[in-house]
A and B are shown apart, each in its own frame.
Chain A
Protein backbone atom coordinates (compact mmCIF):
# COMPACT_ATOMS: atom_id res chain seq x y z
CA UNK A 1 0.00 0.00 0.00
CA UNK A 2 0.84 3.68 -0.10
CA UNK A 3 3.35 5.14 2.37
CA UNK A 4 3.78 8.89 2.81
CA UNK A 5 6.79 10.42 4.53
CA UNK A 6 6.74 14.08 5.58
CA UNK A 7 9.59 16.38 6.64
CA UNK A 8 10.34 18.26 8.76
CA UNK A 9 8.22 17.36 11.76
CA UNK A 10 8.62 20.87 13.18
CA UNK A 11 9.50 24.13 11.48
CA UNK A 12 10.00 27.61 12.90
CA UNK A 13 10.27 30.64 10.66
CA UNK A 14 10.31 34.37 11.15
CA UNK A 15 7.25 36.26 10.05
CA UNK A 16 7.62 37.23 6.41
CA UNK A 17 9.98 34.38 5.57
CA UNK A 18 9.06 31.36 3.45
CA UNK A 19 8.27 27.87 4.71
CA UNK A 20 8.75 24.66 2.74
CA UNK A 21 7.39 21.25 3.71
CA UNK A 22 8.30 18.13 1.73
CA UNK A 23 6.61 14.78 1.26
CA UNK A 24 7.49 11.59 -0.54
CA UNK A 25 5.15 8.80 -1.54
CA UNK A 26 5.73 5.21 -2.54
CA UNK A 27 2.86 4.17 -4.81
CA UNK A 28 3.37 5.30 -8.39
CA UNK A 29 -0.38 4.82 -8.96
CA UNK A 30 -1.18 7.75 -6.64
CA UNK A 31 -2.54 10.67 -8.60
CA UNK A 32 -4.05 13.05 -6.06
CA UNK A 33 -2.01 15.02 -3.51
CA UNK A 34 -3.84 17.35 -1.12
CA UNK A 35 -2.46 19.44 1.73
CA UNK A 36 -4.44 20.02 4.92
CA UNK A 37 -4.03 22.58 7.69
CA UNK A 38 -5.06 21.68 11.22
CA UNK A 39 -5.39 24.34 13.89
CA UNK A 40 -5.41 23.48 17.56
CA UNK A 41 -8.56 21.63 18.58
CA UNK A 42 -9.97 21.66 15.05
CA UNK A 43 -10.34 19.22 12.20
CA UNK A 44 -8.03 19.36 9.18
CA UNK A 45 -9.01 21.71 6.36
CA UNK A 46 -7.94 21.45 2.74
CA UNK A 47 -5.73 24.35 1.70
CA UNK A 48 -4.50 23.25 -1.71
CA UNK A 49 -4.30 20.11 -3.82
CA UNK A 50 -2.61 18.94 -6.99
CA UNK A 51 -3.24 16.14 -9.41
CA UNK A 52 -0.62 14.16 -11.26
CA UNK A 53 -1.30 15.81 -14.60
CA UNK A 54 0.26 19.11 -13.43
CA UNK A 55 3.62 19.96 -11.90
CA UNK A 56 2.77 23.10 -9.97
CA UNK A 57 -0.22 24.95 -8.60
CA UNK A 58 -0.41 28.28 -6.84
CA UNK A 59 -3.05 30.02 -4.75
CA UNK A 60 -1.97 33.42 -3.42
CA UNK A 61 0.81 32.76 -0.86
CA UNK A 62 0.57 28.98 -1.12
CA UNK A 63 2.02 26.80 -3.84
CA UNK A 64 2.50 23.08 -4.31
CA UNK A 65 4.96 21.34 -6.63
CA UNK A 66 4.90 17.72 -7.74
CA UNK A 67 7.71 15.60 -9.14
CA UNK A 68 6.16 12.34 -10.29
CA UNK A 69 9.45 10.81 -11.35
CA UNK A 70 10.98 11.27 -7.92
CA UNK A 71 7.63 10.69 -6.17
CA UNK A 72 7.79 13.80 -4.08
CA UNK A 73 5.71 16.91 -3.62
CA UNK A 74 6.21 20.07 -1.61
CA UNK A 75 4.20 22.86 -0.02
CA UNK A 76 5.57 26.39 -0.20
CA UNK A 77 4.19 29.22 1.92
CA UNK A 78 5.57 32.67 1.17
CA UNK A 79 5.40 35.81 3.32
CA UNK A 80 4.39 33.78 6.34
CA UNK A 81 2.09 35.31 8.93
CA UNK A 82 1.40 34.30 12.56
CA UNK A 83 -1.98 32.89 11.51
CA UNK A 84 -0.13 30.38 9.32
CA UNK A 85 1.00 28.65 12.53
CA UNK A 86 -0.64 25.22 12.56
CA UNK A 87 0.03 21.58 11.76
CA UNK A 88 0.19 20.80 8.04
CA UNK A 89 -0.47 17.35 6.58
CA UNK A 90 0.27 16.06 3.12
CA UNK A 91 -1.63 13.10 1.70
CA UNK A 92 -1.62 10.86 -1.35
CA UNK A 93 -4.20 8.63 -2.96
CA UNK A 94 -5.75 7.29 -6.14
CA UNK A 95 -9.05 5.99 -7.43
CA UNK A 96 -11.17 4.60 -4.65
CA UNK A 97 -8.35 4.11 -2.17
CA UNK A 98 -8.60 6.25 0.97
CA UNK A 99 -6.08 9.03 1.34
CA UNK A 100 -2.88 8.17 3.19
CA UNK A 101 -1.55 11.04 5.31
CA UNK A 102 1.93 12.04 6.37
CA UNK A 103 2.69 12.51 10.08
CA UNK A 104 2.39 16.25 9.91
CA UNK A 105 4.60 19.32 10.25
CA UNK A 106 4.11 21.74 13.12
CA UNK A 107 4.79 25.20 11.69
CA UNK A 108 5.45 28.08 14.05
CA UNK A 109 5.64 31.59 12.62
CA UNK A 110 7.46 33.90 14.99
CA UNK A 111 6.37 37.53 14.95
Chain B
Protein backbone atom coordinates (compact mmCIF):
# COMPACT_ATOMS: atom_id res chain seq x y z
CA UNK B 1 0.00 0.00 0.00
CA UNK B 2 1.83 3.05 -1.24
CA UNK B 3 2.01 6.03 1.05
CA UNK B 4 1.30 9.63 0.18
CA UNK B 5 3.17 10.46 -3.00
CA UNK B 6 4.37 13.96 -3.73
CA UNK B 7 6.13 15.23 -6.80
CA UNK B 8 8.33 16.81 -7.69
CA UNK B 9 10.54 16.32 -4.63
CA UNK B 10 12.60 19.34 -5.61
CA UNK B 11 11.57 22.24 -7.81
CA UNK B 12 13.55 25.32 -8.80
CA UNK B 13 11.76 28.31 -10.26
CA UNK B 14 12.75 31.86 -11.14
CA UNK B 15 10.77 34.76 -9.79
CA UNK B 16 7.55 35.23 -11.72
CA UNK B 17 7.24 31.64 -12.89
CA UNK B 18 4.57 29.17 -11.81
CA UNK B 19 5.03 26.21 -9.50
CA UNK B 20 2.75 23.17 -9.51
CA UNK B 21 3.04 20.64 -6.73
CA UNK B 22 1.20 17.34 -6.92
CA UNK B 23 -0.02 15.00 -4.22
CA UNK B 24 -1.57 11.56 -4.51
CA UNK B 25 -3.14 10.54 -1.19
CA UNK B 26 -3.01 7.08 0.25
CA UNK B 27 -5.43 4.61 -1.25
CA UNK B 28 -8.83 4.99 0.31
CA UNK B 29 -8.14 8.48 1.68
CA UNK B 30 -10.43 11.23 0.53
CA UNK B 31 -9.10 14.08 2.69
CA UNK B 32 -6.01 16.03 1.68
CA UNK B 33 -4.17 18.76 3.58
CA UNK B 34 -1.36 21.01 2.44
CA UNK B 35 1.14 22.43 4.92
CA UNK B 36 4.11 24.73 4.38
CA UNK B 37 7.33 24.45 6.34
CA UNK B 38 9.94 27.18 6.43
CA UNK B 39 13.47 26.43 7.71
CA UNK B 40 13.51 26.01 11.49
CA UNK B 41 9.74 26.56 11.57
CA UNK B 42 6.79 24.36 12.23
CA UNK B 43 4.16 23.18 9.81
CA UNK B 44 1.74 25.91 8.80
CA UNK B 45 -1.67 24.80 7.59
CA UNK B 46 -2.60 26.07 4.16
CA UNK B 47 -5.65 24.27 2.79
CA UNK B 48 -7.89 21.26 3.42
CA UNK B 49 -9.69 19.55 0.56
CA UNK B 50 -11.97 16.65 -0.04
CA UNK B 51 -12.68 15.32 -3.49
CA UNK B 52 -13.76 18.26 -5.67
CA UNK B 53 -14.29 20.51 -2.65
CA UNK B 54 -12.21 23.01 -0.71
CA UNK B 55 -13.22 22.61 2.92
CA UNK B 56 -10.91 25.15 4.57
CA UNK B 57 -8.48 27.48 2.85
CA UNK B 58 -7.96 29.84 5.75
CA UNK B 59 -4.19 29.32 5.77
CA UNK B 60 -3.62 29.93 2.10
CA UNK B 61 -2.69 33.39 0.80
CA UNK B 62 -5.56 34.90 -1.17
CA UNK B 63 -3.38 35.87 -4.08
CA UNK B 64 -1.22 33.67 -6.30
CA UNK B 65 -2.04 30.43 -4.45
CA UNK B 66 -4.73 27.93 -5.41
CA UNK B 67 -5.45 24.28 -4.71
CA UNK B 68 -7.64 21.61 -6.19
CA UNK B 69 -8.45 17.97 -5.65
CA UNK B 70 -10.32 16.75 -8.72
CA UNK B 71 -12.51 13.71 -8.91
CA UNK B 72 -9.78 11.92 -10.80
CA UNK B 73 -6.08 12.48 -10.30
CA UNK B 74 -3.87 14.06 -7.67
CA UNK B 75 -4.38 17.14 -5.60
CA UNK B 76 -2.48 20.12 -6.97
CA UNK B 77 -1.12 23.16 -5.16
CA UNK B 78 -0.43 25.93 -7.63
CA UNK B 79 1.65 29.00 -6.95
CA UNK B 80 1.60 31.68 -9.62
CA UNK B 81 4.25 34.36 -10.10
CA UNK B 82 6.49 32.91 -7.42
CA UNK B 83 8.57 35.17 -5.20
CA UNK B 84 11.62 34.34 -3.09
CA UNK B 85 9.47 34.17 0.03
CA UNK B 86 7.64 31.18 -1.44
CA UNK B 87 10.81 29.08 -1.02
CA UNK B 88 9.84 26.39 1.45
CA UNK B 89 9.01 22.72 1.83
CA UNK B 90 5.40 21.96 1.00
CA UNK B 91 3.95 18.88 2.61
CA UNK B 92 0.81 17.08 1.67
CA UNK B 93 -0.99 14.81 4.11
CA UNK B 94 -4.01 12.59 3.74
CA UNK B 95 -6.46 10.90 6.04
CA UNK B 96 -9.54 8.76 5.65
CA UNK B 97 -11.51 11.27 7.73
CA UNK B 98 -11.01 14.73 9.22
CA UNK B 99 -7.55 15.27 10.66
CA UNK B 100 -8.62 15.46 14.25
CA UNK B 101 -10.39 12.14 13.98
CA UNK B 102 -7.13 10.28 13.49
CA UNK B 103 -3.68 10.06 12.00
CA UNK B 104 -2.45 12.31 9.24
CA UNK B 105 -0.16 10.53 6.79
CA UNK B 106 2.43 12.86 5.33
CA UNK B 107 4.29 12.69 2.07
CA UNK B 108 8.03 13.33 1.77
CA UNK B 109 7.43 16.92 0.74
CA UNK B 110 8.19 19.11 -2.25
CA UNK B 111 11.01 21.56 -1.75
CA UNK B 112 10.55 24.72 -3.75
CA UNK B 113 13.47 27.04 -4.35
CA UNK B 114 12.81 30.40 -5.98
CA UNK B 115 15.85 32.05 -7.51
Q: Chain A residues in contact with chain B, CB under 8 A? A: 6, 30-32, 34, 36, 41-46, 49, 89, 93-104
Q: Which single residue of chain A is at the shortest CB-CB distance from B43?
A: A101
Extra 19 A-B pairs, beta carbons < 8 Å, given A43-B106, A96-B100: A30-B100, A36-B106, A41-B108, A42-B108, A43-B4, A43-B93, A43-B109, A44-B106, A97-B56, A98-B59, A98-B99, A99-B45, A99-B100, A99-B104, A101-B42, A101-B44, A101-B45, A103-B42, A104-B41
Q: Output the nearest chain A residue to B59 by Cβ-Cβ distance.
A: A98
- Chain A residues contacting B98 (CB-CB under 8 Å) are 95-97
Give the B interface residue count (CB, 8 A): 26
Contact between A46 and B42 (Cβ–Cβ < 8 Å)?
A: no
A-contact 0/1 string along B77-115, CB 8 Å cutoff: 000000000000001010000111101111111000000
Q: Is the CB of B42 within 8 A of A89?
A: yes
Residues of B within 8 A of A44 (CB): 43, 91, 106
